[in-house]
């Protein structure tokens, strides 16, 4: 099941934390928790006839100071309510200075018109 980018943004907002497009947002070590998302794969899928639609795969990253953050759980519930059940991976990132943080991430396919 694919959703639109605006539907994805609505789902990510369910966590009531800052959401920004771009992997570089993860480098902002002053803001926790937060969501960063970015596209990393395009795939043209044939629809009926000779038309096609582009499916864009986005990585969604959730960064927090604690595992199983309530905002991440709210986003998971919103994904599930939309019929999406992505596998969510988790890792602990050790900071070079200051406290480390938890990185939870998954991919979502979005139907987009690339122009």
CATH number at residue 39: 3.30.70.1700
Q: Read off the pTM.
A: 0.91
- Number of domains within the chain: 1
81 or 44: which leads in pLDDT: 81
11-69 tens-digit pLDDT: 999 999 999 999 999 888 889 999 999 999 999 887 666 677 889 999 999 999 999 99
Domain that holds residue 13: 5-112
Distance CA 57, CA 32 (A): 25
User: What Cα–Cα distance (Å) separates residue 84 from each residue in 38, 47, 66, 75, 81?
Assistant: 18, 21, 24, 11, 7
Question: What integer pLDDT is reported at residue 49 of this predicted model?
Answer: 63
The pLDDT, as a whole number, for residue 72 is 98
Model confidence band, residue 8 (pLDDT cutoffs 50, 70, 90): very high
DSSP 30-60: T--SEEEEEEEEEEEEE-STT-EEEEEEEEE
Residues 6+ apart with CB under 8 A from 112: 4, 5, 54, 55, 56
């Amino acid at each position: 099941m694919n959703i639109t980018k605006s539907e994805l943004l609505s789902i990510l907002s369910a966590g009531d934390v800052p959401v920004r497009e771009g992997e570089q947002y993860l480098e902002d070590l002053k803001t926790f928790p937060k969501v960063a998302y970015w596209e990393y794969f395009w795939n043209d899928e044939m629809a009926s006839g000779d038309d096609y639609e582009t499916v864009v795969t986005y990585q969604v990253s959730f960064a927090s100071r604690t595992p199983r953050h309530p905002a991440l759980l709210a986003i998971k519930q919103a994904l599930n309510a939309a019929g999406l059940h992505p596998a969510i991976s988790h890792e602990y990132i050790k900071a070079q200075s200051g406290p480390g943080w938890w990185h939870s991430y998954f991919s979502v396919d979005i139907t987009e018109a690339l122009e």
